[in-house]
Amino acid sequence: MAKLQALSTASAIAVLVIPSTMQTATAASFNPAPVYQDFGKYSTTISKNNDLADIYFPKTKNSDSKNNSFPVALLLQGANVDKSSYSQYASIVARYGFVVVVPNRKRKVERIGSTGLFTDTSQVENILAQIETEKSKTNSPIKGIVDTDKLALLGHSLGGETSWGCRFPSPKLANPKGLCWTICNC
């Protein structure tokens, strides 16, 4: 029992000594304000399925866009929600440094027998292919500022559910360095 008490006392002392020799780190201040004050927006047609899409992107003060490389954020819509309903949210995300793509995926869903705006997993590959084309066009507002090796998936309702079902068949996305999902049932 005396040995156990001595061990307890030694452990308690060690615990008291170790923290006193550690350095303290101070947290960096966090500024929740968007990084960019302005954004641009244009509309395009996704060539693989003829869906319409709006593309939002940050506008930088520096006119030399070669120093900027923004990841793609694909915003998958909720069931029968038009892309225009996400304009305010997409513009905010763009001002944080993303090229945000908001497509209208019009298709027929057999199980409910209805045609409407219903997102599906094929949009990921179709959108990335379209962004590769867009970033190469000489008159494209996102020419030279988009990094298609980085992708964020955002989804509202059905769009959030669809993002869970995404399988990344392209070699570019087959082994992502990290995945992060946010589920919101609004």
pLDDT given at position 92: 96
Mean pLDDT of the chain: 79
Query: Per-residue pLDDT averaged across 2-27, rounded?
Result: 47
Q: What is the CATH number of the domain that holds 93?
A: 3.40.50.1820
Nearby residues of 61 by Cβ (< 8 Å), 6 or more positions away: 37
The token duo for 86 is 């996400």
**Strand ranges (E), 28-161:** 38-46, 51-59, 70-76, 99-104, 106-109, 114-117, 146-155
Is residue 122 included in any domain, yes or no?
Answer: yes
Is residue 113 included in any domain, yes or no?
Answer: yes
Strand partners, 154: 75
The token duo for 65 is 């866009």
- Domains in the chain, number: 1
pLDDT given at position 169: 52
Query: Per-residue pLDDT averaged across 31-53, rounded?
Result: 94
Residue 38 has pLDDT above 60, yes or no: yes
Q: Which domain holds residue 77?
A: 38-167
pLDDT given at position 185: 47
Residue 96 has pLDDT above 80, yes or no: yes
Is residue 4 included in any domain, yes or no?
Answer: no
Is residue 162 included in any domain, yes or no?
Answer: yes
